[in-house]
Structure 1
Amino acid sequence: MSDDRTYAQAARAWPFEEARKLVERYKDGAPKKGYVLFETGYGPSGLPHIGTFGEVVRTTMVRQAFQRLSDIPTKLFAFSDDMDGLRKVPTNVPNQEMLAKYIGMPLTKVPDPFGTHESFGHHNNAMLRGFLDGFGFDYEFVSSTDCYHSGRFDEGLLNVLRNYDKIQEIMLASLREERALTYSPFLPVSQKTGKVLMTKVVKTDPAAGTIVYEEEDGSLVETLVTGGRCKLQWKPDWGMRWHVLGVDYEMSGKDLIPSVDLGNKICRVLGSKPPEGFNYELFLDDKGQKISKSKGNGLSVEEWLTYAPPESLALFMYSKPRAAKRLYFDVIPRAVDDYLTFVEKFPAEAPAQQLENPAWHIHNGKPPRPGATLSYGILLNLASVCNAEEKSTLWGFISRYLPEATPATAPFLDKLVGYAINYYRDHVKPQKRYRAPDATERAALDELLRYLDSAPADATAEDLQNEVYEIGKRHPFPELKAWFKALYEVLLGQDQGPRMGSFIALYGRKETADLIRKVLNGESLSAA
């Protein structure tokens, strides 16, 4: 056994803990299908969102961990429930009046409101594939419509029909009395209108493979359950899909735990072992409320990627997946700097430590070598004090601080500069509020100014930090952090800020001294 596998067997990182469930599942050998199957689900009634990313990236992390623990091949299916009926018109698409005419139709039979694809379902599936491809995920796309119409699900549908009463018993116990009166796991596709009908099934015939259902006009119609003539309600569909495809692992949100339990029971009735699972906690908005697609109170992938690299979003998804976390703009800077810290630590860590480092999971064991870089926080504060609108403004300071770095030789740093300017413009600048120093703060600032004017030319960032610290101790602040908070509020117009020694070294001692002079002379920094 290799050292790598030995380390992986002992790794405490949650993807390895999840992967060991699958190692135990197949301790006696590979499954008959020849591979371990991971699955993620997608409802294509809307565009891919941050939850879609989170589920795929977390599942991929478990898959990568399993690949270090086992030689059994793996696959990841990105499953699209595109045969689902259109339930309501999304508010963020064009041609809404047109779409309203197709309520109830399978998504792959609803015209594309964007006019670019065969159907609305096909359009959103293309968006999903483009979304996943953009992040470099290794997956196979699987369409519900294709599975139902090609016959891939026929065996599963007939199995559901043979076990109709058992599945009804499982489902009815979970439903309100009114809903239970007409519930059936089968949703026939109307032979008259083409709609996916949520209607009463009055007769089942397992031998013939048919059901009799009520049409919208009250007539009774007999239909085969196979060949795309019926689909299943989503919870029975989930259990049937696990059974037919042989799904070994699928995670879902904490809110779906009851649905997972029902799917597990149905999967067992159909004759298969349910997949291993993981329930992650849901995200919260800036007010601590659960994020809702309909409310639009969250943060989109596109918004995150306006201000930070995708690796930082992957880190956010990796960290504490079973804890409810605020997903809002103010978490982005910390996520970026935490990512940079993990990547910088990685090369010096022992092999066992590296498996616990989130950078291992984000980059499948091969994080990039850290090049010349600065923290996102420092770049944000540099943009803030410069009121930067262009990358060149920040690079003028960076080139002096890191002479070896250029946009060409440090492309990741160059990207961070762009992200920081975007974040400053949209989320820092509108909130900047400068204030004048009080008497204690003025005295300390005056001493800092005199130090900066006379500091040795070779003073390092650490030297500068130590002197800022000592100056604060020599003045009657109630506590030392009040001195640093004053520096941020007076010089930067914000209540939080950088390590001052590093900031002064980057921005420049002369430039920092000029800021302090302006403050002490009563000049405004709002347009500095």
Structure 2
Amino acid sequence: YAESHEQAVERILPLVGIEPEYLYQAQKYRSGDYAKEMRLALEKRAEIKAILDQYRTTPLEDDWFPISVFSNFTDKDTTTILEWDGEWQITYRDDENGKVETIDLRETSVAKLPWRIDWPMRWVYEGVDFEPAGKDHHSEGGSFDTSKHIVKVLGGEPPVSFQYDFLSIKGRGGKISSSTGEVISLADVLEVYTPEVTRYLFASTRPNTEFAISFDLDVLKIYEDYDTCERIYFGLQEANEKRTAREKRIFELSQVKEVPTEASYQIPFRHLCNLLQINSGDTDAVIAGLTDLLPSQEERLRERCVCAWNWISNYSPEDFRWVLRGSQEPLIELTESLVKGIVDLHAVVERLEEYDEKQLSEEIYAIAHRHEIAPPEFFKAAYLVLIGKERGPKLAGFIITCGKEKILPILGRYL
């Protein structure tokens, strides 16, 4: 079970530029690599017990051993160690069936050190000089507190460390925790965030600061913040010297491989989402409409389109999603004045190329006033006619983005 999850993580980590060397503890224990270290822990049993007891309300039993054994009879750790011969032999009893067996630490695959001893043992064995740890491990009496003393008993020194804080999932509360079932995988994150933006989430946040991985509307802001960072890096947006230095370093750390030599295509994430919804998720159609897109920018934009559409389809709030109404859908019931306003809007859209967004917005307000309609009421009617919802993207910009070819057939049904 654990191995299947390990393999899933190992397969996906290279996508975010992380390619570590893996050390499998189970394999090392089973192959006897830690036999000497387990024997040393047994030799230092009294000293280790004294350290652990300092952080316990109830002292460990006098017959406690700094080792755990999984029964060869049941494959469970419901065992009691009866005796250590002072060298390599451990005798234990299976508490479920009463059977007794003697094992050799150099040959057995069923013995291991408990976590609070295993961790400092591995610092010594692997020569670890730096290892951060979470808030729970660094809490008073936590495993780092005990390990930094036990490691000296085992002949080493504690590594340099710092505390990193918890992650939470926006909108669900609490820290990400496998024990409570509050989990998301890296694969889940990469559905919504490109690898660079995923790295940016961490690179732009101090390690000792709690932050949330968001799947709600904050996704828009996170992409906007990353794009700002990129613009500052390439000198497309001004910032003071201190912020420029910070943003440049964050941008470098956010890249999976080499730092790009040019900025990606600068399109606001919200606008990209609108384009995708206008084109029913068709990335090719969106790309075709961006006439100033450079060939060198296309791959990165396509990747972002995939993430944007995944977010729209699976995570965005219901009121963020919309679809242009089709010719077979029933007409919206409107008052006579609203119908006249829609007819006037149709006439304006026929000359859409004559307007920029500001001019079109002013004309929409003029139509409402001309027919003595409160602007909010007219906007509501226009949205209902176009997308079947009472609210939507900024109307003037939305109409221009959609284009007269898509808007006129919808408005024309009310002529």
TM-score (norm 1): 0.58
The match for 1:231 among 102, 112, 118 is: 112
Contact 2:12/2:187 (<8 A) preserved = no
1:438–1:316 CA distance, 2 compared to 1 (3 A)? farther
Question: In structure 2, what residue type is equivalent to 1:193?
Answer: F
CA distance in 2, matches of 1:427, 1:277: 34
Which of the numbers 162, 179, 189 marks the counterpart of 1:277?
162
What pairs with 1:79-98 in structure 2 (closer than 5 Å)?
none
> Which residue of structure 1 lines up, in the alignment, with residue 201 of structure 2?
316
SS in 2 for 1:283: strand
In 2, Cα distance between equivalents of 1:438 and 1:315: 50
Q: Given that residues 272 and 308 in structure 2 are in contact (C-alpha distance below 8 angstroms), is that contact kept between their aligned partners in structure 1? A: yes
Is structure 2 residue 80 aligned with structure 1 residue 200? yes
Corresponding residue for residue 117 of structure 1: none
Pick closer, same or farther for the CA change 1:354–1:127 going to 2, 3 Å.
same
Contact 1:253 1:282 in 2 (8 A): no
Distance 1:421 1:517, change over 3 A: farther
269-278 or 429-438, which moves further after superposition?
429-438
The one-letter code of the counterpart of 1:140 is E
The code of the aligned residue for 1:144 comes to Q
Task: State the number of aligned residues.
Answer: 387
| 8 Å CA contact 1:283, 1:290 repeated in 2 | yes
Q: What is the rounded CA distance, in whole Å, between the counterparts of 2:130 and 2:378 in structure 1?
A: 52
- Among 282, 288, 291, the residue aligned to 1:390: 282
Equivalent position of 1:370 in the other structure: 263
Equivalent position SS for 1:250: coil
Structure 1 spans left out of the alignment, 5+ residues: 1-44, 47-120, 523-528
Which amino acid is the alignment partner of residue 120 of structure 2? Answer: G
**After the TM superposition, which residues 398-409 of structure 1 pair with which residues of structure 2 at under 5 Å, given as runs?**
398-400=287-289, 402-405=290-293
Identity of aligned residues (%): 21
User: What is the rounded CA distance, in whole Å, between the counterparts of 2:212 and 2:335 in structure 1?
Assistant: 38
Alpha-carbon shift at residue 269 of structure 1 (Å): 2.8
Per the TM alignment, residue 231 of structure 1 is displaced from its structure 2 partner at its CA by 0.7
In the aligned structure 2, how far is the partner of 1:489 from the partner of 1:337?
29
- Cα distance change on mapping 1:196 and 1:385 into 2, 3 Å: same
Q: Gaps spanning 5+ residues in structure 2: where?
A: 324-331, 370-374
- Deviation digits for residues 118-146 of structure 1 (CA, Å, limit 9, x no counterpart): xxx4x555434323334442311111133
* Secondary structure in structure 1 of the residue aligned to 2:22: strand
- Distance change >3 Å, CA 334–CA 251, structure 1 → 2: same
Q: 1:141 to 1:490 in 2, by over 3 A?
A: farther
> Quick check: 2:81–2:92 contact (8 Å CA) kept in 1?
yes
**Contact kept? 2:137, 2:143, Cα under 8 Å:** yes
CA distance in 1, matches of 2:54, 2:263: 56
- SS of corresponding position for 2:131: strand
**Alignment-derived partner of residue 244 in structure 2:** 353
| CA displacement, residues 104-129 of structure 1 (integer Å, 9 cap, x when unaligned) | xxxxxxxxxxxxxxxxx4x5554343
Query: 1:215 is matched with which residue?
Result: 94
Of 131, 141, 155, 1:250 maps to: 131
Query: What amino acid is the match of 2:153?
Result: V
2:225 aligns to what? 338
Any idea what SS the aligned residue of 1:141 has?
coil
Q: Structure 2 residue aligned with 1:325, among 184, 195, 212?
A: 212
The 1-side partners of 2:53 and 2:336 are apart by 73
- 1:326 to 1:445, Cα distance in 2 relative to 1, 3 A: farther
Q: Deviations over 1:202-251 (max 9, x none)?
A: 4445x524444333343554444445452111221112111221212223
Where do residues 145-184 of structure 1 align in structure 2 (5 Å cutoff)?
Answer: 145-174=26-55, 177=58, 184=65
Q: Which amino acid aligns with 1:236?
A: I
Q: Do 1:250 and 1:277's aligned partners in 2 also have CA atoms closer than 8 Å? A: yes
Q: Take 1:481 and 1:165, find their aligned partners in 2: how far apart are those partners?
A: 78
The CA distance in 2 between the partners of 1:220 and 1:143, in whole Å, is 29
The CA deviation string for residues 449-473 of structure 1, in whole angstroms up to 9 with x for no partner, is: 777665664x6xxx52586489779
1:142 is paired with a residue whose SS is coil
Structure 1 position 293, deviation (Å): 3.6
Q: Structure 1 residues 180 and 134, CA, compared in 2 at 3 Å: closer, same or farther?
A: farther
SS at match of 2:132: strand
Q: Specify whether residues 390 and 266 from structure 1 end up closer, same or farther in structure 2 by C-alpha distance, changes over 3 A only.
A: same
Structure 2 CA distance for partners of 1:452 and 1:371, relative to 1, 3 Å = same
Alpha-carbon distance between aligned partners in 1 of 2:245 and 2:390, rounded to the nearest angstrom: 35
Q: 1:365 to 1:343 in 2, by over 3 A?
A: farther
CA distance in 1, matches of 2:340, 2:293: 37
Deviations 1:420-459 (A, max 9, x none): 33333334596558999999999999998777665664x6
1:88-127 to structure 2, matched below 5 A, reads: 121=3, 123-127=4-8
Tell me the CA shift for residue 187 of structure 1: 1.0
User: What code does the residue aligned with 2:402 have?
Assistant: Y
* 1:302 is the counterpart of 2:152: no
**Residues 178, 325 of structure 1: alpha-carbon distance in 2 compared, 3 angstrom cutoff:** same
Measure, in 2, the Cα distance between the counterparts of 1:129 and 1:426. Answer: 25
For residue 172 of structure 2, the aligned residue among 277, 287, 297 is 287
1:326-362 per-residue CA deviation (whole Å, 9 max, x = no partner) reads: 5435544443343333223312287983454432111
The answer as to whether partners of 1:377 and 1:497 remain within 8 angstroms in 2 is no
Q: 1:455 and 1:130, CA in 2 relative to 1: closer, same or farther beyond 3 A?
A: closer
**C-alpha separation between the residues in 2 aligned to 1:427 and 1:437?**
33
> Using the alignment, how far apart are the partners of 2:282 and 2:91 within structure 1?
67
Using a 3 Å threshold, how does the CA distance of structure 1 residues 213 and 338 change in structure 2: closer, same or farther? same
In our comparison, the structure showing a higher alpha carbon Rg is 2
Indicate conservation of the 8 Å contact 2:15/2:256, yes or no: no
Residues 133-163 of structure 1: per-residue CA shift (max 9 Å, x gap): 3444231111113333455434432332222
**Structure 1 pair 466/483, CA: closer, same or farther in 2 (3 Å)?**
farther
| Alignment-derived partner of residue 326 in structure 2 | none
TM-score by length of 2: 0.71
The amino acid that maps onto 1:197 is: D
Cα 1:172–1:421 change in 2 (3 A) is same
